[in-house]
Chains A and B, each alone.
Chain A
Amino acid sequence: MSRLVIANIGPASSVQDGGRFGAQRYGLTVSGAMDRLSLAAANTLVGNEPFAAVVEIGPFGATFTAKDGAVRVAIAGAPRNADIAGKPVALDTSVTLKDGETLTLGFARGGAFTYLAIEGGIKGELVFGSLAVNARAGLGSPYPRPLQAGDEFTVDAASGAPELRIELPKPSAGPIRVLLGPQDDEFDDANKALFLDSEWKISATSDRMGYRLEGPAIKHLHGHNIVSDGTVNGSIQVPGNGSPIALMMDRGTSGGYPKIATVITADVGRLAQTTAGTAFRFKAVTMAEAQDEARKFAQMIQGLSDRLRSSDTVELNIEALSDANVAGYAVSAVDAGTWQVVAEP
């Protein structure tokens, strides 16, 4: 066995997986990775099941050191500067840390969460089938809380398998698609239009529980108190002050504010990766389109292994990689267009 030691890690970083399902009826939050596609991509690169537990790294940096042997890892999700002893590591690739080597990840650029998958997975005690951290309920394993400097994982020694990259489809830059409801009848047509036609920004006070949306105030028809009912990932509720909140993975299982719309499954991860201050819009779609997209999304995740390529079979985008890393960004090794640069705040 090897160890992977966290020398440094920023807040909002924790062990996450596909989520904890089956006990929402008891109020047990599902948790799980904010961006499921990136979770699955990182896992697929190191031969894990798509929804195995990984390290979800928040917007700040992190460093990981291999001890007592080599450790094979992969990163996917929000682009960021990544290197081993100054040698750039590309997003969406696997890499093996030799005993004593350190992988250094910088701040996220153009996204919020990056996923570090470890070959063989993270070992821990499953609760309702999941290792995912839900800090409020003290759940998650091996650390039932956000990760801290000094934490470490006992992991499989690196297999020595050839390094891989994964070709992911370009993320859409289009609006975040929603299905109206379940309580869209608590809003008149003018306020539904205001919700769908306005530009929104994610508030900096957002977290894994919910993303607060900044924009016009949405008014209710009959006040903001409804009798509590169930929530899902992506429920957009409108509290009394009229500022919508998109409920994310650490949401309460029920809520008492009217829910004007629900983000479609295929777009929840994109919303999760939308950084505070970035302007975006919503677009209403039909149930048929939403379910079609959900099926395609699930099929894509199950088929991710077909998108694996040997790291050395293509011309790497060395120039973009080098330029970007010099400038402080990590980019796709193959397609520089899949990353977006955002201005420093």
Chain B
Amino acid sequence: MAATLPPPRLLPSGDSAVTVEFSRTIDDAANERVLALDKALAASPIDGITETVPTYRSLLVHYDPGKIGFDALGEKLLPTAIQPLPPATKARRWRIPVAYGGEHGIDLEDVAKALNTTPDDIVARHAGGDYRVAMIGFTPGWSYLSGLDKSLHMSRRQSPRLFTPAGTISIGGIQAGIQCLAAPSGWHLLGRTPVRTYQLHRNPTFLTEPGDRVTFFAIDHKTFEELDRAAEAGEIVAEQVTA
């Protein structure tokens, strides 16, 4: 029998949710355990759980305290949470087009200056990365990516912007992101994608899932306009690569 993994911390998030915390930092191993627990709970539901929300390092488990109490739920969650990870399955991979710089990426030049290099070099490093959707959150479809090249790690902006446009491709700290809707953000804006990770009347409504792989490729601003119109009409415009 395979050895079990160290147990996560069970942190109360009020009386109707528990945070199952595997790590305090961003690390892929912890995220894999989050997603494995999420999958295991979907496959073998525990009565009383109403919804689960995977994040980088923890799984937020919403439940009905009228059906199961905190202690009883913890006793059921822990044995599943410490199981060895199942063998990795092939992840979906998305190729996401990005119009870098200019009006679509107003921080590209400043990021290049701060890192003593050229905008083209920043684009090459960002587009050259191999990313993984670690979580989706904050606003619909906002996909938080792990795998940002170490040379692009930099602090978030001192003062967050109250508005950043839909489709923003940005970096913040050690994270990269695909933002779907206009939202406040303290991250550095490198470009914009026409891809909608969330579109209400499209099938699927949500494009990305935690665990998906992501790469970027540069497009010019004219191509952006064309793809943006197609996306508005309901096309997915991201390329799905089947491994």
Is the beta-carbon distance between A287 and B70 smaller than 8 angstroms?
A: yes
Using CB atoms, name the residue of chain A closest to B57.
A227
Decide if A27 touches B140 in the complex (CB within 8 Å): yes
A264–B15 CB distance below 8 A: yes
Q: Select the stretch in A64-72, A157-165, A292-300 that faces chain B.
A: A292-300
Known contacts: A230-B58, A264-B14. The answer to whether A26 contacts B141 by CB under 8 A is yes
* Chain B residues within 8 Å of A180, by CB: 12
> Which chain B residue lies CB-closest to A185?
B11
Given known pairs A294-B65, A294-B66, the reply for A232 and B139 (CB within 8 Å) is: no
Within 8 A of A (CB), among B37-65: 50-58, 60, 62, 64-65
Docked complex Cα distance between A29 and B180 (Å): 14
Q: Which residues of B are found within 8 Å of A259, using beta-carbon distances?
A: 13
The reply to whether A179 and B14 form a contact with Cβ atoms under 8 Å apart is: yes
The verdict on A291 contacting B24 (CB below 8 Å), with A26-B141, A253-B137, A255-B138 known, is: no
**CB of B181 closer than 8 Å to a CB of A:** yes
Chain B residues closer than 8 Å to A138, beta-carbon distance: 181, 200
- CB <8 Å contact, A139 and B200: yes
B18 shortest CB reach to chain A, Å:
8
Write the chain B residue with the least CB distance to A184.
Answer: B11
Closest to A139 in B: B200
Rounded to whole angstroms, the CA-CA distance of A21 and B50 in the bound complex is: 9
* Given A229-B55, A291-B69, A291-B70: A27 in contact with B136 (beta carbons within 8 A): yes
Decide: A290 and B200 in contact? CB cutoff 8 A: no
CA distance A225 to B140 in the complex (A): 22
| Interface pair A287/B12, CB less than 8 Å apart | yes
B14 touches A136 (CB 8 A): no
Give the residues in chain A near B64, CB-CB below 8 Å. Answer: 298
Q: Is B138 a contact partner of A179 (Cβ separation < 8 A)? A: no
Contacts between the two chains (Cβ within 8 Å), count: 142
Cβ of A341 within 8 Å of any chain B Cβ, yes or no, is no
B53 touches A293 (CB 8 A): no
B131 at the interface (CB under 8 A from A): no
CA distance A172 to B13 in the complex (A): 23
Contact of A24 among B16, B26, B51, B205 (CB under 8 A): B51
The reply to whether A293 and B13 contact each other, CB–CB distance below 8 Å, is: no
Q: Does B25 contact A (CB under 8 A)?
A: yes
Chain B 100-142 interface mask (CB, 8 Å, partner A; 1/0): 0000000000000000000000000000000000011111111
State whether the Cβ of A265 lies closer than 8 Å to any Cβ in chain B. yes
Highest count of chain B CB atoms <10 Å: which of A183, A233, A254: A254
In chain A between 254 and 270, which residues have their CB closer than 8 angstroms to a CB of chain B? 254-255, 259, 262-265
Tell me whether A229 and B14 are in contact (CB under 8 A): no
Asked if residues B12 and A179 are in contact (CB atoms below 8 Å), the reply is yes
CA distance A139 to B199 in the complex (A): 11
Whether A295 pairs with B66 at a CB distance below 8 angstroms is yes
Q: A182-B12, A230-B19 are in contact. Are A28 and B140 (CB under 8 A)?
A: yes
Q: Is there contact, CB below 8 Å, between B11 and A181? A: yes
For this complex, into which size category does the number of interface residues on chain B fall? 35 or more
Least CB distance, A281 to chain B, in whole angstroms = 18
Shortest Cβ distance from residue B52 to the other chain A in the assembled complex, whole angstroms: 7
- Bound together, the chains give a CA A96 to CA B12 distance in angstroms of 45
Residues of A within 8 A of B57 (CB): 227, 229
Tell me, yes or no, whether B144 is within 8 Å of chain A by CB.
yes
Check A136–B181 contact: CB distance below 8 A.
yes
Contact pick for B65, options A229, A232, A263, A295, CB 8 Å: A295
Q: Which one of A28, A29, A228, A264 lies within 8 Å of B55 (CB-CB)?
A: A228
Q: Which residue of B lies closest to A225 (CB)?
A: B173
B53 touches A254 (CB 8 A): yes
A204 within 8 A of B: no
- Tell me the smallest distance from the CB of A268 to a CB of chain B, in Å: 9
A110-139 residues with Cβ-Cβ distance < 8 A to B are: 127, 136-139
Q: Is there a chain B Cβ closer than 8 Å to A58's Cβ?
A: no
Which A residues are in CB contact (< 8 Å) with B206?
23, 26
Q: A18 in the interface, Cβ–Cβ < 8 Å?
A: no
Determine if A29 and B66 form an interchain contact, defined as CB atoms under 8 angstroms apart: no
- The residue on A at minimum CB distance from B137 is A254
Write out the residue numbers on chain B whose beta carbons fall within 8 Å of the beta carbon of A253.
53, 137-138
Q: Which residues of A contact B70 (CB under 8 A)?
A: 287, 291
Chain B positions within 8 Å of A252 at CB level: 137-139
CB neighbors of A among B17-41 (8 A): 17, 19, 21, 24-26
Measured CB to CB, the nearest residue on chain B to A26 is: B206
Interface membership of B198, Cβ < 8 A: yes
> Is B82 in contact with chain A by the CB < 8 A criterion?
no
Residue B183 CB within 8 A of the other chain: yes
Distance to closest chain A CB from B23 (angstroms): 8
Query: Is B191's CB within 8 Å of the partner chain A?
Result: no
**22 residue pairs bridging A and B, Cβ less than 8 Å apart:** A22-B51, A24-B62, A27-B137, A27-B140, A28-B140, A127-B200, A136-B183, A179-B14, A225-B173, A227-B57, A229-B19, A232-B14, A232-B62, A233-B14, A252-B138, A252-B139, A254-B53, A262-B15, A287-B70, A291-B69, A294-B66, A295-B66
Excluding A182-B21, A252-B139, A254-B137, 13 further A-B contacts by CB distance (< 8 Å) are A24-B51, A25-B51, A25-B53, A27-B136, A27-B180, A137-B140, A138-B181, A228-B56, A230-B137, A231-B13, A235-B14, A265-B65, A298-B66
